[in-house]
Amino acid sequence: MSAATATITDLKGDGRIPLRGHLRHTGALIRRNLLWIRQDPESMFDAVLFPVVFTLLFVYVFGGSIGQSLGGGQEAYVQYVVPGLMAMMGMNMAQGVGTGFNQDFNTGVMDRFRSLPIGRGSVLFAKIAVELARMLFATVVLMIVGVLVGFDITNWAGLLASVGLSAVFGTALMWIFLTLGVVMKNAQSVQAMGFLVLMPLQFGSSIFAPTASMPGWLQNFTDYNPLSSLADAARGLMVGGPAAHDVWVTLGWSVALTAVMAPVAIHKFRTKA
């Protein structure tokens, strides 16, 4: 059922949409977005190529030297970097939801949605749900490549907990990029802004290398970088080591970002001229 058809029976007498109506609209829009991916399979290239390229690049280019600092070689670095790359997947996929949202505005798709009597939040929730599915697919690809290059999965419960934590944090980031998708003029601007934000956060963290050898000022930055907390939490859960503090810090960041940015994204979407 399309979102337009669903609204015929979902509106109350006073024009408000009940929870059941919101869920029906969200489901219809998720189906629409999945059908679009089916018609345009190239839109999945980033979900496939990002984990493959980053894993092979860092393992075989930096694995030997950084692995020695970890007390081993390339094998030790694989155990270190794969959980970190899982933390990075959520951020890279979050950027994609912003550019796709902006393209929908520029092609007139969002004008049609906003002209229908459907819940405005349904459009955003559907985008996030589909992007979460893409992120989980990218994570599966990452783990397959990681196992092929030597990653040893010894704690399946920790792996699933890490995936869930990355999904929660990735969802929080998506609200930021949805906001950018509304306020920026074109998809290129969203990508450029995302690049300026992503690069310092990714490389100024513990995703790719330990932070002990970094300058003091940079270590202070990495200590408060939520990506470091997520990477260290995933590492502790999957490989072993302390994880509770980093898990709670990551959850705290996720709740704070969602609480601040979700209302902003919905408001900007409703009021965009």
Residue with tokens 């980031």: 173
Count Cβ atoms below 10 Å from residue 200 Cβ, excluding itself: 11
Q: Enter the tokens of residue 113.
A: 């949605």
pLDDT band at 1 (very low <50, low <70, confident <90, very high): very low
Judged against a pLDDT cut of 80, whether residue 262 lies above it is answered with yes
Q: What average pLDDT does this structure show over 62-70?
A: 82
Indicate the domain borders of the chain.
17-271
Q: What is the pLDDT of residue 161?
A: 94
CA distances 108 to 26, 57, 198, 250, Å, are: 19, 39, 28, 37
Q: What is the pLDDT of residue 6?
A: 46
pLDDT in tens, 132-189: 888 899 999 999 999 999 899 888 999 999 999 999 999 999 999 888 888 888 888 8
Judged against a pLDDT cut of 70, whether residue 9 lies above it is answered with no
Mean pLDDT value across the chain: 83
Residue with tokens 């907390």: 229
C-alpha angle 250-256-262 in degrees, rounded to nearest 5: 120
Q: What is the pLDDT of residue 261?
A: 92
Tell me whether residue 189 is exposed, middle or buried, using C-beta atoms within 10 angstroms of its C-beta: 0 to 12, 13 to 18, 19 or more: middle
**More confident site: 105 or 74:** 74
Residue with tokens 């601007």: 189
Q: What average pLDDT does this structure show over 205-231?
A: 88
**More confident site: 15 or 27:** 27
Count Cβ atoms below 10 Å from residue 140 Cβ, excluding itself: 13
Judged against a pLDDT cut of 50, whether residue 82 lies above it is answered with yes
